[in-house]
Amino acid sequence: MNFFGHLVLALARVEGDGARLLGSCFPVGPKHLATALHVVAPNDDGLVAFVPAISGIAEYQDTSSTGWRGSPVKIAAVDAIRDICVLEVPGEWKFSLGHSVTGTDVLSLGDEVHVYGYPHMDYGRKVMTFQRSHVGAKVLISNHGVKVKHAVINTQLRPGQSGGPVFHVATGTLCALVTGSYAPDAQGSILVSGVDPVTLHQTGHAVSAEYIKGMVP
């Protein structure tokens, strides 16, 4: 199994003496990361990225550790229509990618995909989590008259996973970026322990990674 968890970073915003966890991100070039635009607002004031939580598949992650050291990142490009943001990393950082970037065109219904990210960040939890899942649907979602390619992933997604990568197992390529759980545009929604019940279902959305290619400087 190809494991890409060593490439998945966490994003946070420095606030006072601490940092508020925001979401996930991943390299799309030697000096750039991609994430979901809604994760960063867009606003790069106090925005920092943390090095990947683990370097190998057999490692434990210490949930009691609070000594996170983040490095500032800056917004390089945004695509508000497709909810994508590209970030520039510090000068001393440089990534080496062992995969290619494709898109949702390579997917067929039932294909296995691997999803990486940091769920439950809204509770201050920073644990890189790997999920096996399958493609449940391929859809076009219209935003301001532009139809955007998405994959529906048969996995429940939680806050913090937005901005994480989705890999297509058959080709070993980066095919999509997690945007979150589907939530109908309904009036009168309520929150239960900070969770909107309409998002509690076994599917999530991921936007095609093909749109990232033209955004990397």
β-bridge mates for residue 153, sequence order? 135, 204
- Rounded to 5 degrees, φ, ψ at 88 are -100, 135
Q: 213: closest CA among 97, 134, 117, 40?
A: 97
Q: Which tens digit of pLDDT belongs to each residue from 133-175?
A: 999 999 999 999 999 999 999 998 888 999 999 999 999 999 9
Question: Does 37 reside within a domain?
Answer: yes
Name the domain boundary from 63, 88, 113: 88
Token duo for residue 153: 């992933």
The pLDDT assigned to 100 comes to 95
Name the domain boundary from 32, 58, 88: 88
Q: Does 137 share its domain with 40?
A: no
Q: Does 29 share its domain with 115?
A: no
Q: Which tens digit of pLDDT belongs to each residue from 75-96?
A: 999 999 999 999 999 989 999 9
Q: How would residue 119 be classed by pLDDT, with cut points 50, 70 and 90?
A: very high
The pLDDT assigned to 68 comes to 72
Average pLDDT (90-103) is: 93
User: Is the predicted pLDDT of residue 199 greater than 90, yes or no?
Assistant: no
Q: Does 47 share its domain with 124?
A: no
Of the listed ranges 58-67, 94-103, 167-176, the least confidently predicted one is 58-67
User: Is the predicted pLDDT of residue 193 greater than 50, yes or no?
Assistant: no
Mean pLDDT of the chain: 90
Angle at 29 between CA 25 and CA 32, to 5 degrees: 50
> What is the reported pTM?
0.91
Q: pLDDT above 70 covers what percent of the chain?
A: 91
- Rounded to 5 degrees, φ, ψ at 148 are -115, 135
The secondary structure element, H or E, covering residue 37 is helix 37-40
The CATH number given to whatever domain includes residue 39 is: 2.40.10.10
Q: Domain of residue 143: give its range.
A: 104-213
Q: 168: closest CA among 102, 117, 216?
A: 102
The pLDDT assigned to 208 comes to 98
Inter-residue contact 21 to 12 (CB < 8 Å):
yes
Query: Domains in the chain: how many in total?
Result: 2
Question: Does 167 reside within a domain?
Answer: yes
Of the listed ranges 15-19, 71-75, 96-100, the least confidently predicted one is 15-19
Question: Does 183 reside within a domain?
Answer: yes
Question: Does 97 reside within a domain?
Answer: no
The pLDDT assigned to 188 comes to 47
Q: How would residue 185 be classed by pLDDT, with cut points 50, 70 and 90?
A: low
Using DSSP's 3-state secondary structure scheme, residue 207 falls into: strand
Q: 40: closest CA among 74, 82, 67?
A: 74
